[in-house]
Amino acid sequence: MGLRDVTFHDLIRRNAAVYGDRPAWIEADDGRTLTFGALAERVERLAAGLQQRGVRKGDRLGALGKNSLELFLLYGAAAACGAIVLPVNWRLSAEEVAFNLADGRPRLLFVDAEYQELVGAHRGRLPSVEACFNLKPPGGGFEPFDGLLETSAAFAPVDAAGDDGWTIIHTAAVAGRPRGAIVSHRNLVCAAVQLNLLLQMSPADVHLNLLPLFHVGGLFMAVQAFCAGALNVNMGRFDAAAAAELIERHGATVLFDFSPILEGILDQHEATGKKIDSLQKVIG
């Protein structure tokens, strides 16, 4: 590790020490809330569970599911283990999902219940996968996610460097097929610094996380808000009415959107009178 190397796990530990009992994450779907301290503790318990299942530095962890606390924890635990998350766009066709998973060669696979039948149908194309886990609760027919958190094993810190891979994002098709692009910890930290210079975010901010975490826009914004000590209010999937209500309820100050998303929120504001004047920074 270089003198100035910083990983996502380092940022998680730093935030636990600096922001401790401040809320870090709220699940809009069910109201679950974690502080920065509790999130760091859960990340390391999950990392210990992954290590007990044989995950080592450089291994890939596939993820097929909508935004959830569990997915964010998986990003953190992978960083702690030195593993690499392979998030797959759930909007793709079954064939495209199977190709991206096979291309990334994950050791473990984490899947929302609604996509488990798809994975089961293509299991023969995924020889690298040793075990499949449920991702977002409730239920599903794969191994329980919480089982990894219930390990009695202690987390063993891993010597990770800034240039080590943290996630693999599949790009647009080249010669008919997408290619996996590795995003390093240094890529992540530099993006967070640049976004904070642009947005000037602080612990007083509330980020409405409505873009998917398989996309660099959604992932980097969620991580940047986390790094700034801000609160992430997470939507499993964008819905304009729900987004307008969440902005009003939590006083959201920042979001990253695309034009149809913003249009939908503005339409809901006009139709329902939901207050969205807390928003200060809207980028897209």
Residue pLDDT, tens place only, 198-242: 999 999 999 999 999 999 999 999 999 999 999 999 999 999 999
Query: Residues of 7-16 as b/e, b for ≥16 C-beta within 10 angstroms?
Result: bbbbbbbebb
Q: Is the pLDDT of residue 111 over 90?
A: yes
Structure tokens at 264: 């939908």
Residues 82 and 94: their CA atoms lie apart, in Å, by 29
Q: Is the pLDDT of residue 136 over 90?
A: no
Residues found in the chain:
284
Percentage of the chain surpassing pLDDT 70?
Answer: 98
Give 106's strand partners: none
Model-level pTM greater than 0.85?
Answer: yes
**pLDDT band at 1, cuts 50/70/90?**
very low
Give the per-residue pLDDT at 138: 77
Give the per-residue pLDDT at 139: 80
46 and 149 Cβ atoms separated by less than 8 Å: yes
Q: Three-state secondary structure along the chain? A: CCCCCCCHHHHHHHHHHHHCCCEEEEECCCCCEEEHHHHHHHHHHHHHHHHHCCCCCCCEEEEECCCCHHHHHHHHHHHHHCCEEEECCCCCCHHHHHHHHHHHCCCEEEECHHHHHHHHHCHHHCCCCCEEEECCCCCCCCECHHHHHCCCCCCCCCCCCCCCEEEEEEEEEECCEEEEEEEEHHHHHHHHHHHHHHHCCCCCCEEEECCCCCCHHHHHHHHHHHHCCCEEEECCCCCHHHHHHHHHHHCCCEEECCHHHHHHHHHHHHHHCCCCCCCCEEEC
Tell me which residue has tokens 């690298």.
128
Give the per-residue pLDDT at 4: 64
Q: Is the pLDDT of residue 2 over 70?
A: no
Q: Is the pLDDT of residue 173 over 80?
A: no
Give me the mean pLDDT over the 24-43 stretch. 97
Q: Is the pLDDT of residue 45 over 60?
A: yes
Torsion of CA 105, 7, 24, 167, to 10 degrees: -20
Phi-psi region of 111 (alpha: psi -120 to 50; beta: other; left: phi over 0): beta
